[in-house]
Structure 1
Amino acid sequence: MKQRPCRAWLTANADPATTMLYVGIDWSEQRRVPAIEKGWAPWPVRFPMCEPPHLSKQDMLDWARAEGLRPPRLYEQGFAHNNCFGVCVRAGQRQWRHLLTVAPERFAAAEAEEEKLRTQLGDVAILKEQRQGVSYPLPLSELRRRAALPQAPA
């Protein structure tokens, strides 16, 4: 959803010989660098947060505050990433449960969109779950239903 429009814009407006792309992954995600570089070719890509000093996310947020910058609201709401207003199709069950708690209206909108897709495509879902080594779709409606159930004591 983000990469295609960005690539179209780059193709129309940016010469790879004079354009550098910067990607905001940190040193803990360096395994992603080769695929990202390949995917954005012919534009060169840099990853400043992968370079020393290797700061933690908290270090970076503290530095931003010290510089007078206010970190994005999603961090204040307890999200690990500032992506997609917390409604990220690449997020896992934990983030979706968190979204249900802190922004139920956004969860509901995503759930409604997913349900439209399920009507058109069948048994598909943003989330998956494993049972006995087999992967199954886990619709957001089911995640919401389960979240409403009392938790068993640990």
Structure 2
Amino acid sequence: MKKLLTCITLSLLVLGTSQVQAQNADADVTLTRVIEASVDEVWSLLRQMDDIQNYSSMIATVEWTGDHGIGGERKCLPPEGGSGYFKERIVSFSDEQRTYSYALIEGVPAKGMVNRFKVVDLGYNKSMIVWTSSYEQFMPNPQMNEEQFLAFLHQSVSEMIDNVSLTALRM
């Protein structure tokens, strides 16, 4: 029975990953994490959108303007002593699909950058967080090159997904 459950879970994981990647074939960066928590528990955390400072050491404060949903904007400020900020606008949101997308409109060295969170139900009280990022063009700057920017994205989003996962496991 345990082998059967393992096979089913692995099949769902492969199928779920394939579906998500097929929907985002043009994404420049895709990060996924399987969590031993229900899709509803994980989505209840990610859908908040205005408390990401609880999951990222690079964000101390979030200033929200507008509606909590499409069109709403959040300005993410660094911890004391940090420099810079970034501003995001929510461009899509669906409780039914457990997904939202946000455009980075200030503070990043990339033109046309859009990121997306999606929570996939794997059954058996498991879910998968999928984060994708795509952008039109990297903007050269003295702070970092494109390789460093991609490494920064990977590290910061991995930290956030890990912390959301830990919080969901404690629910």
Normalised by the length of structure 2, the TM-score is 0.20
User: As a proportion of its length, which structure holds more helix?
Assistant: 1
User: As a proportion of its length, which structure holds more strand?
Assistant: 2
For CA contacts below 8 A with separation 6 or more, give which structure has more relative contact order. 2
Normalised by the length of structure 1, the TM-score is 0.22
